[in-house]
C-alpha cells in the first residue's frame, strides 16, 4: 500500500519524466511511500485499492490513441465488465499534448471521463498541457499542480512548512533512482552470469520484450538528388530467419527501432565522469528514499559494462531536462562568489516558472547532458545521479513503406529523412536514429518491433484519395503497394489519386519513377498522381492548393453514402505543423460547396468528422 500512486502512459518518455518529477514533489509534500509506474504495470482492478489517490499522466499515440504503456489498461477500462470498477478511486489526470494535432490531448480527456463513468471521483479538474504554449506544458502544469497539492492536503516537509525557497525546486528531495554496484560485489549467482551477460543481446524495454526481432539492412540508397538540401534515403530491411509472428505487419503500421548512442558521446561521458568503460556493474532500483516502486528497467540486475550501459540504455543525445539542471545545482559546493553564481544560474535554468531561460539555453540549442557537464565542468555528480536524471533510450518510429501483399512477409521498406540542422548559435545537430539509419551499410543488424499505426485499408475495393507531403509518402507507398498487390481482387477497377507535395520536381519528388512503373505494369492502372511543388515557381504551391484546383475530383471522395458515387477514403500523411489543418480546411470548403446535405461551415466540419468516425478520413502526422 502506498500514500500516492502515479501511473503514466508514455510514447516518447515525456510522460514518464513528468511522473517521476511529480513523485519527487509528492515526497517533498509529506507522502512517505510513493509508487510511480507505467499504467500497464498495475492491473486496473488494483487502482481503487492502492491505499491512496492515483495520479495519471497521459500522452497520445498516433491520432489520439493510447500510448505504449497505457494500451492494455485503456482496453480494460473500455470493457463492459469494467462498469462500477472504479468506485472508491480518487484520481487526477494530466495530459501531455500539442495543439498542432487535431486530436489535442484526446487520451487524457477520454481517460478522465471514463474513470468518472466507472465510479471514480476526480479530486481536481483534468489538466491539459500544450507543447505549443509559449512556455510549453508548464503553462498548464503549474496551476494544475497547485490545485493538486491543495486537494491532497499534505502539510509538507519543505517549502510552505518552513520557508519559501529562493527558487521553486531548491528544496525538492534530492536522491538517485538507482544503486550501481561493482558486479564483483553482487551475490554469487549474479557474478556467475558475468561471462554470459557481458556480450549478450541488448534487452529491449519491458513493454516490448515479447515483440522485438532482428532485421538486417539489405539496401540503402538516397532518394533525393545531390543538390537537394534534404537528405532522404530508402532502406530495405529483412527480418531474420528466426523471426516469429512478431514481424507480421499491416498497411499503416510503423517500425520501432532501437538505436545505440554515438561512440563519441559514450566515451566523452566516461571521460567526464572519470570512469572505466570496461568496468562491470549491476544496477538495481533504490527505494530507500520513499519511491517504493518505480518503472522496471531492462538493465536492472544484469551485469553490464559501463560502456554497454551508456551506449544502449540512456539517450545521451536527448535535450537535457530542467530536472537534470536542478540536480547539478545541488552539486555546487561552497559559498564563494563563483559557486553562488553557478548555483543561481543552474537554479534559474531549472525554474519551471522561468522556462524561457531554459528554452534558450537547452531546448533551442538541443544541448545534451554531455555538453551541459562540459559547460559546468567543475561539477562532478555521481554516475547514479547522472543516470537518474538522464532520458532512457527509447525506440524511434518510422512508417513502414512496403506492403505484405506485394513485398511478402519479413520485408520492411523505410523512407528516412535525415534530421540535420543548425541551432540559433550555428551549432550543427543531427538526429540520432535518422543519421544512424542513413549511414547504415548493408549487413547492419537492427533491433525492431512492429507498432500498430493509425491507417487502415478498406476491406473491399474502395476509391482512395491519398494526400502526402515529404516523407509522409512512406505510409502512402505502403497503401499503394498493397492495392497493387491485390489488383486481381478488384482493386484495379477503382479510382486511386495521389496528391504529393514536395519542394522541387527535380530534387525531392520521392518515388516518382515507381508510380509510373506500377501504372505501366498494370498493377495500379487507375492511379493518378497530382504533384505540388512549393519552390519551383515564385508562387508557392501546396497540396491544399491542388485539392482546390481539382475540387470536383476531390469532392467525389467526400460524398456521403448513397449519393450516387462509391464512398471514398481519404488519407492525409505528413508533418503535423500546419499541413493537416490546411488540408482539412480546404476539404471543408469543398464539402460546403459540393455536398448537397451540407449548408454551412459548421455542417462541413461535422461532415469531415463523421467521415473520420467511419474510417473514411484517416490522418498519420507527426511533429519534427
Spatial distance between the Cα atoms of 563 and 468, rounded to a whole number of angstroms: 27
Residue that is last in its domain, among 391, 415, 442: 391
Spatial distance between the Cα atoms of 121 and 86, rounded to a whole number of angstroms: 8
* pLDDT > 60? residue 169: no
Q: Which residue has the cell 511543388?
A: 533
Residue that is last in its domain, among 391, 408, 426: 391
Is 513 within a domain?
yes
Is 174 within a domain?
no
- CATH code, 144: 3.40.50.360
Q: Which residue has the cell 538522464?
A: 390
Q: Residue 265 — pLDDT band, cuts 50, 70, 90?
A: very high
User: In the chain, what percentage of residues exceed pLDDT 90?
Assistant: 78
Sequence-distant (≥ 6) Cβ neighbours of residue 245 within 8 angstroms? none
| Least confident among 40-49, 101-110, 396-405, 510-519 | 101-110
Spatial distance between the Cα atoms of 131 and 604, rounded to a whole number of angstroms: 28
Is 306 within a domain?
yes
- What pLDDT shows up at residue 156? 52
Are residue 12 and residue 96 in the same domain, yes or no? yes
pLDDT in tens, 424-439: 999 999 999 999 999 9
Look up residue 359 and give its DSSP letter: I
Are residue 238 and residue 338 in the same domain, yes or no? no
Are residue 116 and residue 208 in the same domain, yes or no? no
Are residue 324 and residue 408 in the same domain, yes or no? no
- What pLDDT shows up at residue 201? 60
C-alpha cell at 234: 530508402
Are residue 185 and residue 205 in the same domain, yes or no? no
Is 333 within a domain?
yes
Are residue 545 and residue 601 in the same domain, yes or no? yes
pLDDT in tens, 320-346: 999 999 999 989 988 889 999 999 999
Q: Which residue has the cell 508514455?
A: 10
- CATH code, 356: 1.20.990.10
C-alpha cell at 309: 550501459
Tell me which long-range contacts 297-300 makes (C-beta under 8 A, separation of at least 24): 297/178, 297/206, 297/392, 298/203, 298/204, 298/205, 298/206, 298/209, 299/203
* pLDDT > 80? residue 556: yes
Are residue 309 and residue 384 in the same domain, yes or no? yes
- What pLDDT shows up at residue 187? 54
- CATH code, 236: 2.40.30.10
For residue 260, the Cα-to-chain-centroid distance in whole angstroms is 17
- What pLDDT shows up at residue 199? 43
59, 480, 500, 563, 619 from 544: Cα distances, Å: 29, 21, 10, 24, 15
Are residue 209 and residue 156 in the same domain, yes or no? no
| Least confident among 60-69, 136-145, 229-238, 375-384 | 60-69
- What pLDDT shows up at residue 348? 93
Are residue 276 and residue 406 in the same domain, yes or no? no
pLDDT in tens, 201-223: 677 777 676 789 999 999 999 99
* pLDDT > 80? residue 378: yes
- The mean pLDDT value for 374-399 works out to 94
Beta pairing class for 569-575 and 617-622: parallel
Number of domains in the chain: 4
| Least confident among 38-47, 114-123, 167-176, 565-574 | 167-176
Q: Residue 262 — pLDDT band, cuts 50, 70, 90?
A: very high
Q: Residue 196 — pLDDT band, cuts 50, 70, 90?
A: very low
- What pLDDT shows up at residue 192? 45
> Residue 75 sits in which domain range?
4-161
Q: Residue 499 — pLDDT band, cuts 50, 70, 90?
A: very high
Residue that is last in its domain, among 161, 188, 218: 161
Burial of 331 (0-12, 13-18, 19+ CB in 10 A): middle
Is 448 within a domain?
yes
- The mean pLDDT value for 396-408 works out to 96
Three-state secondary structure call for residue 515: helix
- What pLDDT shows up at residue 319? 95
Which secondary structure element, helix H or strand E, spans residue 407, and what is its range? helix 404-407
- What pLDDT shows up at residue 191? 44
Is 524 within a domain?
yes
Are residue 327 and residue 184 in the same domain, yes or no? yes
Is 166 within a domain?
no
Are residue 610 and residue 557 in the same domain, yes or no? yes
Are residue 146 and residue 19 in the same domain, yes or no? yes
Helices (H), ranges, 214-286: 263-273
Is 212 within a domain?
yes
- What pLDDT shows up at residue 111? 97
pLDDT in tens, 455-489: 999 999 999 999 999 999 999 999 999 999 999 99
* pLDDT > 50? residue 165: no
Between 326 and 156, name the one with better pLDDT: 326
pTM score: 0.90
Spatial distance between the Cα atoms of 174 and 295, rounded to a whole number of angstroms: 18
Amino acid at each position: 500500500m502506498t500514500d500516492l500512486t502515479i501511473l503514466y502512459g508514455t510514447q516518447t518518455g515525456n510522460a514518464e519524466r513528468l511522473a517521476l518529477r511529480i513523485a519527487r514533489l509528492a515526497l517533498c509534500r509529506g507522502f512517505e511511500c510513493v509508487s510511480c509506474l507505467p499504467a500497464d504495470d498495475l492491473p486496473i482492478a488494483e487502482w481503487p485499492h492502492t491505499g491512496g489517490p492515483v495520479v495519471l499522466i497521459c500522452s497520445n499515440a498516433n491520432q489520439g490513441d493510447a500510448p505504449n504503456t497505457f494500451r492494455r489498461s485503456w482496453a480494460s477500462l473500455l470493457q463492459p465488465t469494467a462498469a462500477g470498477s472504479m468506485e472508491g478511486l480518487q484520481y487526477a489526470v494530466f495530459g501531455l499534448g500539442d495543439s498542432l494535432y487535431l486530436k489535442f490531448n484526446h487520451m487524457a480527456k477520454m481517460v478522465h471521463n471514463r474513470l468518472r463513468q466507472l465510479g471514480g471521483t476526480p479530486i481536481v479538474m483534468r489538466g491539459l498541457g500544450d507543447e505549443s504554449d509559449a512556455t510549453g506544458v508548464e503553462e498548464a502544469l503549474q496551476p494544475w499542480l497547485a490545485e493538486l497539492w491543495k486537494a491532497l492536503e499534505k502539510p509538507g516537509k519543505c517549502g510552505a512548512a518552513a520557508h519559501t525557497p529562493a527558487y521553486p525546486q531548491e528544496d525538492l528531495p534530492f536522491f538517485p533512482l538507482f544503486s550501481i554496484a561493482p558486479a564483483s560485489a553482487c551475490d554469487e549467482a549474479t557474478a556467475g552470469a558475468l561471462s554470459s551477460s557481458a556480450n549478450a543481446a541488448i534487452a529491449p524495454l519491458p513493454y516490448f520484450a515479447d515483440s522485438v526481432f532482428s532485421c538486417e539492412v539489405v539496401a540503402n540508397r538516397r532518394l533525393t538528388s545531390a543538390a537537394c538540401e534534404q537528405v532522404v534515403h530508402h532502406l530495405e530491411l529483412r527480418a531474420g530467419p528466426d523471426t516469429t509472428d512478431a514481424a507480421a505487419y499491416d498497411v499503416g503500421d510503423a517500425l520501432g527501432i532501437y538505436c545505440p548512442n554515438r561512440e563519441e558521446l559514450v566515451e566523452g561521458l566516461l571521460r567526464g565522469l572519470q570512469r572505466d568503460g570496461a568496468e562491470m556493474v549491476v544496477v538495481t532500483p533504490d527505494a530507500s528514499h520513499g519511491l517504493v516502486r518505480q518503472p522496471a528497467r531492462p538493465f536492472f540486475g544484469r551485469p553490464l559494462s559501463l560502456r554497454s550501459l551508456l551506449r544502449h540504455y540512456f539517450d545521451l543525445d536527448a535535450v537535457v531536462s530542467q530536472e537534470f539542471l536542478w540536480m547539478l545545482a545541488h552539486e555546487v559546493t561552497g559559498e564563494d562568489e563563483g559557486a553562488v553564481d553557478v548555483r543561481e544560474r543552474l537554479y534559474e535554468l531549472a525554474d519551471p516558472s522561468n522556462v524561457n531561460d531554459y528554452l534558450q539555453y537547452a531546448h533551442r540549442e538541443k544541448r545534451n547532458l554531455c555538453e551541459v557537464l562540459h559547460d559546468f565542468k567543475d561539477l562532478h555528480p555521481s554516475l547514479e545521479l547522472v543516470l537518474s536524471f538522464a532520458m532512457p533510450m527509447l525506440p524511434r518510429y518510422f512508417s513502414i513503406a512496403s506492403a505484405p501483399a506485394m513485398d511478402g512477409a519479413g520485408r520492411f521498406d523505410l523512407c528516412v529523412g535525415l534530421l540535420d540542422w543548425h541551432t540559433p548559435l550555428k551549432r550543427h545537430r543531427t538526429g540520432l536514429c535518422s543519421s544512424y539509419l542513413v549511414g547504415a551499410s548493408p549487413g547492419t543488424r537492427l533491433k525492431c518491433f512492429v507498432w500498430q499505426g493509425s491507417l487502415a485499408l478498406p476491406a473491399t475495393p474502395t476509391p482512395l484519395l491519398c494526400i502526402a507531403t515529404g516523407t509522409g509518402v512512406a505510409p502512402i507507398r505502403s497503401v499503394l503497394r498493397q492495392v497493387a498487390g491485390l489488383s486481381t481482387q478488384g482493386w484495379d477497377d477503382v479510382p486511386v489519386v495521389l496528391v504529393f507535395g514536395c519542394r522541387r520536381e527535380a530534387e525531392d519528388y520521392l518515388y516518382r519513377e515507381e508510380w509510373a512503373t506500377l501504372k505501366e505494369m498494370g498493377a495500379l492502372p487507375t492511379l493518378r498522381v497530382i504533384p505540388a511543388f512549393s519552390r519551383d515557381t515564385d508562387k508557392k504551391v501546396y497540396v491544399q492548393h491542388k485539392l482546390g484546383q481539382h475540387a470536383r475530383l476531390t469532392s467525389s471522395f467526400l460524398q456521403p453514402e448513397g449519393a450516387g458515387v462509391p464512398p471514398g477514403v481519404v488519407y492525409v500523411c505528413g508533418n503535423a505543423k500546419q499541413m493537416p489543418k490546411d488540408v482539412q480546411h480546404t476539404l471543408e470548403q469543398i464539402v460546403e460547396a459540393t455536398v448537397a446535405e451540407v449548408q454551412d461551415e459548421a455542417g462541413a466540419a461535422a461532415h469531415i468528422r463523421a467521415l473520420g468516425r467511419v474510417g473514411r478520413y484517416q490522418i498519420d502526422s507527426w511533429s519534427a
